[in-house]
A and B are shown apart, each in its own frame.
Chain A
Amino acid sequence: MTAAPLLSLQSLTVRFQTPDGVVDAVAGIDLDIRPGEILGLVGESGSGKSASCLAVMGLLGPYASTTGSIRFAGQPIAGDIATLRGRSIGMIFQEPRASLDPVRTIGSQLREVLHLHRPELDAQAAEAEAASLLRRVGLPEPARQLRAYPHEISGGMAQRVAIALALAGNPRLLLADEPTTALDVTVQAQVLDLLSRLRDETGLAIVLVTHDLGIVAQYADRVAVMRHGKVVEQAPVHTLFARPSHDYTRQLLAALPRSEADRPAPKPVATPLLRVTGLARHFAQPRGWFQPAAPKLRAVDGVSFDIDAGETLAVVGESGCGKSTIALMLAGLIGMTAGHIAFAGRDLGSTSPAERRALRRQLQIVLQDPGEALDPRLSVATQVEEPLLIHRTGGDRAQRRETVRATLAAVGLDDWALDRRPHELSGGQRQRAALARALVLEPSLLVLDEPTSALDVSIQAQVIDLLTRLQRARNLAYLFISHDLRLVSRVADRVAVVYLGRIVELAPTATLFANPQHPYTRALLSAVPEPDPDRRGRTRILLQGEPPSPTALATGCRFRARCALAQRVCASDDPSLLPAEGGAQVACHFPGGAG
């Protein structure tokens, strides 16, 4: 590990001219990347990770200026970066589809790059090379993918294509800017494994930008932590996790939700606070004028669960599995195709409108993106007060104002926030304001749809602490939707794992994490990168492929196409959710891998 650095940054600064003045995105960093190493670059949003990478590539755009030195293989790169792009240094971006030209086939984009960097290849050889590149990044049926357009492939496949494009010129360094943030954990594991395999095979050096310490622990050799445009700590991965030397690194590590379930199992109650039975929502597919009707999209297809007062039920699953649709139906924001929702023993479908309104007040929702829930033109106080006005409660003006103030205080916002507009608040403060708006009616159940996924790790930890305190103080029940399994293991009492609109496993958190029964749950858990570099060796079950579309549901078990245990019976019989070991319920013919 003492080879001469491949890329070397010295006192690199990046400054943006914006309408609001200058922003010093990178404030003098020194960083070396050696051949064949994976350097994890972590730090909160806006800390200058992307700006540093783009500075190396010379792609910052017209409003940026850089100073300092950037050397590649010992040579300074200044004016001739354009000749290095793609040939010596490749780059991939967070949103994979966004780096592909939507109107050209994948094959034509690959041939363009090959023609540029490997002009010795003739048309036929280039075609063959394009196919072999796709094979190298693990795409099935390369010949067919070459003719596909970017919108015809999934996000995970698009990121593989982006990697193939970046590698076509045989670069020695790959800058990967959050390459898996837009992907599901199962697909994320596939893509990251691919990157580390490519490194092993070809000695490619990789700068892996991420905000997920789990990814760093599993894949990086060395780590650089950035904050406010500076590198605050740089160390080999084991050292960093074992003996972090900078305060900020310690904070980051402390904020990590650990994968250990330490919550007591809840005791069952006679009448649950919320009982959902057979909930379903199908969407009609858009179709053309002379098209036959498309099959219905079964976003949610028969889901039943209970939530007790003061309990947290987490709903997890890959994107598109129907998590948010469940939340929206519970909140009454979209209608349901079938099923019943009973609140405190009263079926919402058969109560009088007045009673339904009163019951609905008990059930509030907080959305993923606080920007969506808050109106940018209105002050925080006005928006927190609004539900009181809509439901005509809360007494007179002065009393309402007092309620608003108390609620804001409960979520940790002082009077300063009252007259602020959303854009004057930070992401964490906005999410608190959105939470206050949901709490002001004193509900007994909150539906939280990815409440922290738009927030940085450290702020995420604060919001989770707040939620836990509120739950204890008010005996609140939560339906907690998330794709972050580490977080779920910390906050939930029970977990429902959803696959293609159905619950495939529902179990107390400790049971689920210690002894997952459904093959899908096991794959999902093993895809989570653990923030512990000493646990790299563990055997993992990698899921192949991506979730099929909820329109193309075959008979039998929905998971069968990706299941390693599938037998003949799985093709004919749809397994129903049945009790299994440890208080779990599982929808699988061979729970726990038996058989």
Chain B
Amino acid sequence: MDFILRKSLRALLTLCIVVTLTFVVLRTSGDPAIVILGTDATPEMIARFHADWGLDQPLPLQYVHYVGHIVTGDFGTSFLDGRPALTVVAERLPNTLRLAGLGFLLTLGLGIPAGVLAALNRGRLLDRLVVTGAVLGHSVPSFFLAILLILLLAVRWHLLPSGGANAPEAIIMPALTIAAGGMGSIARFTRAAMLDALRQPYVRGVLARGVSWPNAVRAHVMPNAAIPTLTMIGFLLGSLVAGAVITETVFAWPGIGRLIITSVARRDLAVVQCIVLLVATTMVLANLTVDLLYGWLDPRMRAPAQEDR
């Protein structure tokens, strides 16, 4: 209980820092008025724009308003099309969720079993194949993989549409692209964690009590290996977001990855801010989940560290 409270408080603190940083970075990185009105806008037009959007007030006051609005769920209005930023983002969100979700499932569903099998067959052909595949998946840049997939599957063999989100099968190539890198890392990481768990002396102890090898692996080695692997999964969520930006652009996928690129280019502050906060919150929540799962899996984590001496 105490453990959950501690972790949640820490997550909340991180969120506050994110909210503040977002404000600082966005307000100090160029004047949106100039980008939106063009460089030949008259000083009066700029002043008018500032007054309309509250940009003429002193920064601390702007910050107070900003925090007040966020707390009440008001993320401002898009400079460009005048609708609430939240609506603009929410429109695109389901697409990204579908893509990232499928990518994530692929990453875990293929990466973890590959790592486990490789470790159990250490040094054999299967192990070498997995390790080679993992290194490839990890090191090939995702835009390159995307273009390769488009050239082969769409242009040459006409199996899949090259972009957009209209056909249901259009999600396959972007999801594969997003999953490839993570799959490589997670497979290698799972393999290392399994090998480490297999080396622990309790494995011999469990076998000496008469537990069969498959049961020892299933009930003792895998739960122990799951603990370090979980940390890796936490990191993966972060790279998933980065992957979405590139992948959505290449495949013309109408998600928030593409939205953020256009919004940044046009200094649509409210929308950018909304996306950044959304992504940051997701990450913080994901890490909180990982932390809590960690405590659930590893009894040694629940109590604050107690050294023997």
State the A residues within 8 Å of B (CB): 57, 59, 82-83, 85-87, 90-91, 93, 95, 98-105, 112-113, 116-117, 149, 151-152, 162, 165-166, 168-169, 283, 285-291, 297, 299, 320
Contacts and interface: CB of A to CB of B under 8 A. Distances in A.
Given A82-B212, A85-B210, A98 B202 contact: yes
B50 interface: no
B211 A112 contact: yes
Contact of B300 (A102, A290, A299): A102
Most buried by A among B9, B201, B205: B205
A112 B210 CA distance: 10
Contacts of B207: 57, 59, 85
Nearest to A88: B210
A457 to B, nearest CB: 25
Contacts of A168: 209
Contact of B224 (A87, A101, A117, A297): A101
A57 B200 CA distance: 18
A95 B306 CA distance: 20
Contacts of B89: none
Given A112-B219, A290-B9, A86 B212 contact: no
Contacts of B304: 286-288, 291
A59 B210 contact: no
A102 B212 CA distance: 19
A289 B205 contact: no
Contact of A86 (B201, B209, B297): B209
Nearest to B223: A103
B298 interface: yes
B210 A87 contact: yes
A290 B219 CA distance: 35
Contacts of A152: 299
How big is chain B's contact interface, by range? 20 to 34
Given A288-B304, A289-B10, A116 B210 contact: yes
B309 interface: yes
B208 interface: yes
Contacts of B205: 93, 98-100, 162, 165
A104 B220 contact: yes
A289 B8 CA distance: 12
Contact of B308 (A57, A86, A165, A320): A320
Contacts of A101: 202, 206, 220, 223-224
B265 interface: no
A8 to B, nearest CB: 20
A103 B227 contact: yes
B71 interface: no
A283 B210 contact: no
Interface of B: 5-6, 9-10, 200-202, 204-212, 219-220, 223-224, 227, 297-300, 304-309
B298 A103 contact: yes
Nearest to B216: A101
Given A98-B202, A99-B202, A169 B307 contact: no
Contact of A165 (B209, B220, B223, B224): B209
Report the 8 A-B pairs with minimum CB-CB distance, sorted nearest first: A86-B210, A99-B205, A288-B304, A98-B201, A149-B299, A91-B208, A85-B210, A86-B209
A104 B209 contact: no
B33 to A, nearest CB: 43
27 contacts: A86-B209, A86-B210, A87-B210, A91-B208, A98-B202, A99-B201, A99-B202, A101-B223, A102-B224, A102-B300, A104-B219, A104-B220, A112-B219, A113-B211, A116-B210, A149-B299, A149-B300, A151-B299, A151-B300, A165-B209, A283-B309, A285-B306, A286-B305, A288-B6, A288-B305, A290-B5, A299-B309
A105 B298 CA distance: 11
Given A102-B300, A287-B304, A289-B6, A169 B202 contact: no
B204 A100 contact: no
Contacts of A287: 304
A85 B209 contact: yes
Given A98-B201, A290-B9, A117 B308 contact: no
A19 to B, nearest CB: 14
A301 to B, nearest CB: 14
Nearest to A85: B210
Nearest to A320: B309
A93 B201 contact: yes
Nearest to B10: A289
A440 to B, nearest CB: 31
Contacts of B227: 103
A95 B201 contact: yes
B78 to A, nearest CB: 39
A392 B299 CA distance: 52
A100 B204 CA distance: 10
Most buried by B among A83, A287, A289: A289
A428 B232 CA distance: 45
Contacts of A93: 201, 204-205, 208
Given A95-B201, A99-B201, A100-B202, A169 B298 contact: no
Nearest to B305: A286
Given A57-B208, A98-B200, A99-B205, 19 more contacts: A59-B204, A82-B212, A93-B201, A93-B204, A95-B201, A98-B201, A98-B205, A102-B202, A102-B224, A103-B227, A112-B211, A113-B211, A116-B210, A149-B300, A151-B299, A166-B208, A166-B209, A283-B309, A285-B306
A354 B227 CA distance: 52
A322 to B, nearest CB: 9
Contacts of A289: 6, 9-10
B1 to A, nearest CB: 13
Contacts of B206: 99, 101
Nearest to A290: B6
A93 B305 CA distance: 27
A103 B307 contact: no
Nearest to B299: A149
Contacts of B200: 98
A116 B211 contact: yes
A82 B207 CA distance: 8
Contacts of B307: 285-286
B209 A169 contact: yes
A561 B201 CA distance: 34
Most buried by A among B202, B205, B206, B208: B208
Most buried by A among B202, B206, B220, B304: B202
Nearest to A289: B6
A151 B202 CA distance: 13
A454 B244 CA distance: 57
Nearest to A162: B205
Most buried by A among B210, B299, B304: B210
B208 A103 contact: no
A103 B306 contact: no
A103 B299 contact: yes
Contacts of B10: 289
A98 B201 CA distance: 6
A95 B305 CA distance: 22
Contacts of A82: 210, 212
Contacts of B300: 102, 149, 151
A358 B19 CA distance: 59
Contacts of B299: 102-103, 105, 149, 151-152
A98 B205 CA distance: 8
A288 B302 CA distance: 11
A320 B227 CA distance: 30
Given A101-B202, A102-B300, A86 B208 contact: yes
Nearest to A151: B300
B224 A169 contact: no
Contacts of A91: 208
Given A85-B209, A86-B210, A93-B204, A103 B9 contact: no
A579 to B, nearest CB: 32
Contacts of B297: 103
A369 B5 CA distance: 43
A341 to B, nearest CB: 21
Contacts of B208: 57, 59, 85-86, 90-91, 93, 99, 166
